Each structure stands twice: as C-alpha cells, then as structure tokens.
Structure 1
C-alpha cells in the first residue's frame, strides 16, 4: 500500500502489478478449472477480489497511458487505482459469466481498516495507527469476516458483480460501475499479464 514508485520485475508499477495483475493472472489460470468443477459438481463457484474503500482515491478512473510513469505517480492514488481495478475485474467477470452461462460469481469487497503493517511506508502514520489503532481498527479475524461471508455464506448465492463492506452490499464509486472501463481494463490486463 502506497510504497515509493517501484517497478515489478516485469516493469509494471508495483501496486498495479501486485494488487491487480497478480489477481487477474491467477483468476485466468484457474478459470477453466473453476468452470469445469462448477459444472461437474453442480455447485456455484465464487471469485472474491479483496478491494478497498481506497478505490475512491484513485486517479480519475484508470490511467492506462501513465501506469508506469514515475513523474505522475502518487502513492495513494496508485493504490486506489489498483483497488478500483479489483472491482472492475469482478464486474467484467460477472458480465462474461452471464454471457457464457457459467455457474460462477465474482464480487469485490472492502475488508475494513485492519490493524496490520499495511502503512509501513508511512512511518509517522503507521506509528499513530499502532498507538491508537487498537481502539478503532478491526483485528485480523474481524477483517476476514466480509471475505469469508462473500466466499461462503448461502445468502450470497447467485449474487455477482457487487461490492461488499461489513458483510453487506455497498455502493462503490461511479468509475467502479463503468462497463466500458471494465472492458478496457480486461483487454489491457490480458496483454500485461501474458506469461
């Protein structure tokens, strides 16, 4: 979360590579197996993308032309962009599942503000969070609750393309619901995540 500008081994901005492309590639590698298993077992398969309320702090949408541009890099905006991409990915998966009749769902969620070392690149803020965080941040089990709910709970059967927070459907920002942006992200991600 919000590190100094860094490129991955594949020369892609590190937050976008880690928080979005890694998840995108893993999903692509597992997708046919998930479809087959869901069909054979006659059970719904679920894909859960852990996003963040930080998706609201993205640049305006996804800066496709400046993904790897250090001069326009903002640590928090880039983090928000990678988390916006998680929601867009779930939405595009949902569209494709409906189009192909796959018995799979894809949703995104905000786990909550959790007492972890996520802010390690911002020592002052991290120190304050360590000092007072125990009074208002979720602990790890509380932070995992929404992920477990979306992945496992029967009440989520058949629900796809939604954004969850505190085990409830929540409203993401307008960029997260942009179908054209989701499709463009999908196409670019296919190219960037190609093995």
Structure 2
C-alpha cells in the first residue's frame, strides 16, 4: 500500500482522487453499470464516470435513494447520462430480473463495476438461504456478471473497445477464515465470525476476477477482469458497528481516505489507458498490488467458480 503522497509506478498515490486519475479521459460512448451506486463510493464512482461522459446505469436496492443521487449529480453535470434500475444482490430472483430488464433495454455494456457490499453483519441468511455477506458481496455479483457476460462480449465485438469488469474487494480479504472459503460450512452459524465472513466474501471477489480473467483470455475476448482495494474509508459500511463507527468518525480525517480518494482506484481500473489489456490483477491506490497467497491460488479460484455455479444454478 502506498503512503499517502507516495506515487506508485502509475504516477498516482493514495491521496489521488477519482477526478485526478481520470483527468483528460473521454468516456463518451461507453456504458457502465455500477452496483450499490446510491451511497458512499458508488455515488462518487457514478458522478466521476458521468463527468467523463460515460452513460451510467445505477443498480440500486433503494430506487428512491438512487433517483435523489441522480438528481444531485444532474445539478452539477447537467449533460450527465444516468439511469436508475432496481437490484438487490442478496436475491438471485432480483439479479435475474435486473439482467433480463437490462438485456431488454438493448443498451450496450462496456464496464461492469461490482461495487456494492455489506460488511461485518451479524449472522443472517439471504433470500436464497445463503450466509448474507457471501450471498451479497460475492454470489450476487458472480451471477450478475455471468448473466451479463454475453451482452459485454457483443458490445466489445461491435464497439471494438475493450470491456472491463471491476470487482471491489478489500485488504480485509487477508482476514478470511483459515481455509479461505468454507465450502462445506458456508451457512454454519456456530462457527460464524462476522469479520472472517467479510474477509471470505472479499477473498471471493479477488478469486472470481482471477478465474474470470483466465476464462476470458482463453476465449480470446477483449474483456478484462480485475479486483481492487479502495482503501480505508468511512462509509455507511460500518453501520453495524456503532463503537467503531464513532471512533472512525473522530480519527478518520487524519488516517482514512476521503470518498473521492476511495473511488479513485475503481475509476482508474475502469477507465485509464494504462490498464488496457491488464487482467486478473489486484489493485490498490491506483497501482497493481500484491494480494494474499490464498488470493493467488488458481485451484481455489476454480473450486470457488464451480461452487458458485452450483449455488446459482447457472448454466
């Protein structure tokens, strides 16, 4: 991780903002989906992509909140192209409906930004009876990506522009359960630990991008898949931890990234020409980072892929 003012090989650092890393980039003609676009990093990612000319589809659980964000952005950027669509990643039925509605809209898809997430929740099950953090952070995005992949492939062929899939992970992936992914105990309440379960879901985000990158490469598709750590930021992710939330709000301004700095790596990986052709990597502070050994385990990545296919019943 780069120290705040310290620039990595990309020329950017932890203190670079999303506007800094996309300065001078023209995203006109590109269409992007951003999940979890109605709060925190999702709002800033949407705003900066729209500022650079990208047509952004905000995929949000709360459509009213999404519409207010859209209105706010339009006040600042009157020409912004933004749509709001409903998506609840913890429900496979909602993911399928979203994908089907998106395909019916005949919109192209150049960028898929799997940004939404929940963090450190008490033990709960999703609509499909799967542990909630794994279901929302990984499985919902896995299914969404698979359902939209054909649209992305067609767009890449027709537009002759590289498609990019971006998974928001976290340094929290280093603190997963000892075995990494608990395939046999994904719903085991007795062994559940809210932070290890968060780490497991974030490890899954990296492994998903890694396996997807190798499959796309084998097919010779001009679509990349990468994952990233946005940095330590105060967002509403901490809402289940009142004490930590209060401390974070007090000391955060000295040690944590602001939201514009937090959204920088996402916007860099989504739009920057330096990332062209780069796939299967893990980024931090707008530079290629070094994830844990578990995150580099291609057998684990393949096993997770098959496990996720079984859980989502995808063809």
Measure, in 2, the Cα distance between the counterparts of 1:43 and 1:127. 45
**1:150 maps to which residue?**
269
Q: Secondary structure at the match of 2:228?
A: strand
**Aligned match for 1:35, one of 140, 144, 153:** 153
Larger Rg: 2
Which of the residues 78, 101, 105 maps onto 2:224?
105
Aligned to 1:11: 129
Once structures 1 and 2 are overlaid, which stretch shifts more, 120-129 or 84-93?
Answer: 120-129
Whether the 8 Å contact between 1:115 and 1:134 is mirrored in structure 2 is no
Match of 1:47 among 160, 165, 168: 165
Instruction: Tell me the CA shift for residue 117 of structure 1.
Output: 2.0
Shift of 1:86: 0.3
Q: By how many angstroms is 1:87 displaced?
A: 0.3
Could you give the per-residue CA deviations for residues 37-80 of structure 1, whole angstroms, max 9, x where no partner exists? 10111111000000000000001211100100000101000000
1:26 aligns with 2:149: no
Aligned length: 195
Which residue number in structure 2 is paired with residue 185 of structure 1? 304
Greater per-residue helix proportion: 1
Per-residue Cα deviation, 1:156-194 (whole angstroms, up to 9, x for no partner): 000000000000000000011111111111111112123
Match of 1:64 in 2: 183
In structure 2, runs of 5+ residues without a counterpart are 1-118
CA-atom RMSD in angstroms: 0.9
For structure 1, the 5+ residue unaligned runs are: none
Q: Tell me the TM-score normalised to structure 1 length.
A: 0.98
**After the TM superposition, which parts of structure 1 deviate over 4 Å for at least 4 consecutive aligned residues?**
none
Q: Which residue of 2 aligns with 1:176?
A: 295
